[in-house]
Amino acid sequence: MTMFNRLAFRATTAVAALALTATAAFAEDRVSATHAFPTFLVYTKTFLAMVDDINERGKGIVQIDVRGGPEAIGMFQQPAAVRDGVVDMVHIPGSFYGASVPEIDAMVAATVTPLEARANGGAAAMDMAHQERFGVRHLGWIDGGVKFHIYTSTEPKFDENGVLDLTGVKLRDNPIYHAFFEALNATTASMPATEVYAALEKGVVDAAAWTEIGLMDLKWDEFMKYAVEPPFYNTDIGVIFNKESWDALSPESQELIEQVVIEWEEKSYNDRQETVKADRAELEKRGMQFVAMSDEGAAAYLKLAEDAAWGRMETRLQEMGDDGSSYETMRKLYHPE
């Protein structure tokens, strides 16, 4: 090979190497994701809209591929799937894995909004608890500010103290309010939301708790005719991301995803306040009766709910060997006096 040919070869090789380096530097990150609820629910619609926002703004940086919802991975199996890296990101209620990250109950019983928790350090503390206990990042609290009602097919009864009496009521259970229902001595049956319509139709259950919104999407209002006041707890739906997968993303991808999730944390909170009003008006139009307790009964009812959530969190943390510092930190950040 002549001197000229050798120089030409080296130049060509250098250009090729530079091109490969540039291509690698600007390669899009790919993220796999699932969501716990079916696509027709408002919560999933929020998540999918947020993903679209990330993908639009992340062209050339990062793209999220949504693999589906509970039909792809069972809703109660999704926490383990993201922890183990089967998928990178999951949109899911924290209570579905609360036994592993007890701090999630702080969101359930919170008296602050997602925006306030973001500002006062609560969101950062929640993220750190997820990293240490479950190997995931907790990126944001989505569709917050929505509470729960107990809906029944028969007129609710109240005890001598004016508190809801669930004796003899067959109630659909769920991890977020299981401790509360135990405190109310309810007879419960745990099942995914996707199975409740058939259970109501067959009489397996005749009552269920659900959020202030979305009941009509599930068509449970075909059977439920009463909603117990006051509402209790908060939705604890978040976006969690496998820690190793997160660390493998480029800094640009991390920054973009975090920025968009935080924006949607606020946007979804504001949007859901309007949805709550609209859904209540439509339910009343369809004949739903909102049955209120006495002031004393309502106060006792809410106290029972609050104590059940914070008590469960404290017990779980103690069983993990926590010295009480995590409990006190979360209480201060999510339930300031």
- Digit-coded pLDDT (tens) for 275-310: 999 999 999 999 999 999 999 999 999 999 999 999
The domain that contains 190 carries what CATH number? 3.40.190.170
Q: How many domains does the chain have?
A: 2
Domain assignment present for 9:
no
How many Cβ atoms from other residues are within 10 Å of residue 60's Cβ?
9
Same domain, yes or no, for 211 and 290?
A: yes
Domain assignment present for 172:
yes
Same domain, yes or no, for 120 and 180?
A: no
CA distances from 186 to 167, 183, 205, 227 (A): 6, 8, 12, 17
Same domain, yes or no, for 241 and 324?
A: no
Same domain, yes or no, for 103 and 222?
A: no
Domain assignment present for 20:
no
Mean pLDDT of the chain: 92
Burial class (CB in 10 A: 0-12, 13-18, 19+), 23: exposed
pLDDT, residue 26, reads 59
- Tell me the pTM: 0.87
CA distances from 308 to 19, 176, 251, 293 (A): 60, 11, 41, 19
Same domain, yes or no, for 113 and 225?
A: no
- Which residues span the domain enclosing 112? 26-145+235-274
Same domain, yes or no, for 264 and 130?
A: yes
Domain assignment present for 180:
yes
Same domain, yes or no, for 139 and 221?
A: no
Contact 192, 70 (CB under 8 A): yes
Domain assignment present for 12:
no
Summarised one tens digit per residue, pLDDT across range 223-235 is 999 999 999 999 9
